[in-house]
Amino acid sequence: MIIKKKKITRLDVILGLLILAIAAYILYRIAVGLQYKWDWAAIPQYLFRYDEERNGWVPNLLMQGVFTTIRLSLWGTILATILGTIMGLCRVSHSLFNRLIGWTYVELIRNLPPLVLIFIFYYFLSGPIMSALGVDEFVKALSERTQGLLTFLFAPPSMFSPFLAALITLAIFEGAYITEIVRAGIQSIEKGIWEASHALGLSRWQLMRAVILPLVVQRILPPLAGQFISTIKDSAIVSIISIQELTFQGMELMAATYLTFEVWITITALYLILTLSLSLSVGRLEIYLRRSES
């Protein structure tokens, strides 16, 4: 399979110059019309700071927010993939009850705003459930080393319950979309493969585990990677319950420093670095899968 390289056309150049002109005009209006005084020199200290006790550079507010966003997105995608796979299998099950469960989950979650889901889960479910299970007491009773590991992988002990609530909510929301990706992947398998597998005398579980799912994984990897990018963007919504991810840290920093444009432009750049790097990785993955299929 020969992949032709895309050439930059005259239209691309014109559109690029137009975008640059619009951006320059907006910056000019901010500086002149609003008489805004730019102070970019103050931003680097909020990315990294020098810690005299550790005798080295450590992440500051914005980078701490980036790391929290990465943790939320990574674990949220893993949980959402597990949930979406289970519900995707329910969507194509022979059992009417299982199909109803999968359909209800998808239609309910996809038609509710994530903001509403976070409020419902955090205020009505997370508090009573977390308290009843004794999550906070359990985490605080752990050894200092284990707490440090939990802080590295998830969140500090004081923020563990809110982080867990945000993580589960994000996984439930993203899982509804992954459910449809899995369902479409299973239904895209050719009829002949199903018939050949049935002819071998395989049970439905053996058929799904040994034949269908391995084929499905190859087909849904690109959209799953795209959903991971979407999870990074959707994770900003959990800032409303004081999860100290990138958007929350940006709002706190803006309120303290009044560096409105500098802070939000920096946050935009950090989100773009995360999402664009993943987008490029997804593009390479798609090229690799096309080559392997050919």
Domains within the chain, CATH numbers bracketed? 10-293 (1.10.3720.10)
pLDDT computed for residue 294 by the predictor: 60
Tokens of 148: 């440090």
> What confidence tens digit (pLDDT) does each residue in 132-155 have?
778 878 888 888 889 888 888 888
pLDDT digits (tens, 9 = 90+) for 67-80: 999 999 999 999 99
pLDDT of the residue at 293: 62
Mean pLDDT of 21-27: 84
Question: What does the CA dihedral 88, 83, 166, 106 come to, rounded to 10 degrees?
Answer: 20
pLDDT at 197 over 70: yes
Greater confidence (36 vs 69) lies with 69
